């Protein structure tokens, strides 16, 4: 199998699955972003001395990440779980710079499910935390054409696109989005090339 995205079989040239995408990009992303996040986090050393209380340095950047919250039209179980999760995170980390929800906001991409997500999220999210929300494969399972399913996601979440880039306190957040409802996830070559450019930009800035 070739490692070049541009030398794929013609039928596979415009899209690849999430699994293949991760296999091909993990090393690059790890190399480009690893130092950005690992080195600052290493500064969170716990300081201790005999007879002195342990203390921790203030973190440079705080952003909780949740995934697969799966709001359901007929049950409030996940709705209540999301509300409780947000409340607990607010207690644990009261000063968040961003908050990420990385896919599968809903079970089936239905309007009532999105409304449940919006109600729970907006009522409990910290006002100063930048939202970073990604679309997941379940958010396409509403019978709509892909473009319409994406439009519904964007109308609810107010994200700029299904894949986008934000800089928060000097750190680059590169958010990807699957482009259909296939379980493995699908990414177009256009999105992958976009990601490559954003990684280069982040590397240049660091």
**pLDDT in single tens digits along all 206 residues of the chain:** 333 333 333 444 566 776 665 566 544 443 333 333 333 333 333 334 455 555 568 899 999 999 999 999 999 999 999 999 999 999 999 999 999 999 999 999 999 999 999 999 999 999 999 999 999 999 999 999 999 999 999 999 999 999 999 999 999 999 999 999 999 889 999 999 999 999 999 999 98
Predicted model pTM = 0.75
Phi-psi category of residue 158: left, alpha or beta, with phi > 0 → left and psi -120 to 50 → alpha: left
Beta bridge partners of 65: 100
Q: How far apart are CA 124 and CA 85, in angstroms?
A: 9
Decide if domain 61-205 falls under CATH 3.90.180.10. no
Q: How far apart are CA 83 and CA 66, in angstroms?
A: 12
Two structure tokens written together for 157: 């979440």
Domain range list for the chain: 61-205
Q: How far apart are CA 114 and CA 103, in angstroms?
A: 12
Q: Other CB atoms closer than 10 Å to residue 199's CB: what's the count?
A: 19
Q: What is the Cα 148 distance to its own chain's centre?
A: 21
């Amino acid at each position: 199998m070739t490692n070049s995205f541009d030398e794929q079989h013609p039928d596979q040239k415009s899209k690849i699955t999430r699994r293949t995408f991760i296999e091909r990009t993990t090393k690059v992303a790890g190399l480009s972003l690893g130092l950005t996040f690992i080195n600052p986090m290493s500064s969170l050393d716990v300081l201790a001395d005999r007879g002195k209380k342990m203390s921790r340095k203030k973190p440079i950047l705080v952003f909780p990440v949740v995934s697969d919250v799966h709001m359901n039209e007929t049950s409030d179980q996940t709705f209540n779980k999301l509300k409780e999760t947000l409340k607990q995170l607010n207690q644990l980390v009261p000063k968040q710079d961003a908050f990420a929800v990385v896919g599968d906001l809903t079970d089936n991409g239905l309007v009532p499910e999105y409304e449940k997500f919006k109600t729970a999220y907006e009522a409990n999210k910290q006002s100063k935390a930048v939202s970073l929300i990604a679309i997941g494969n379940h958010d396409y399972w509403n019978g709509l054409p892909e473009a319409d399913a994406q439009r519904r996601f964007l109308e609810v979440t107010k994200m700029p696109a299904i894949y986008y880039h934000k800089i928060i306190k000097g750190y680059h957040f590169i958010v990807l989005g699957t482009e259909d409802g296939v379980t493995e996830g699908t990414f177009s070559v256009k999105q992958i090339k976009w990601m490559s450019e954003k990684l280069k930009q982040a590397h240049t800035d660091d």
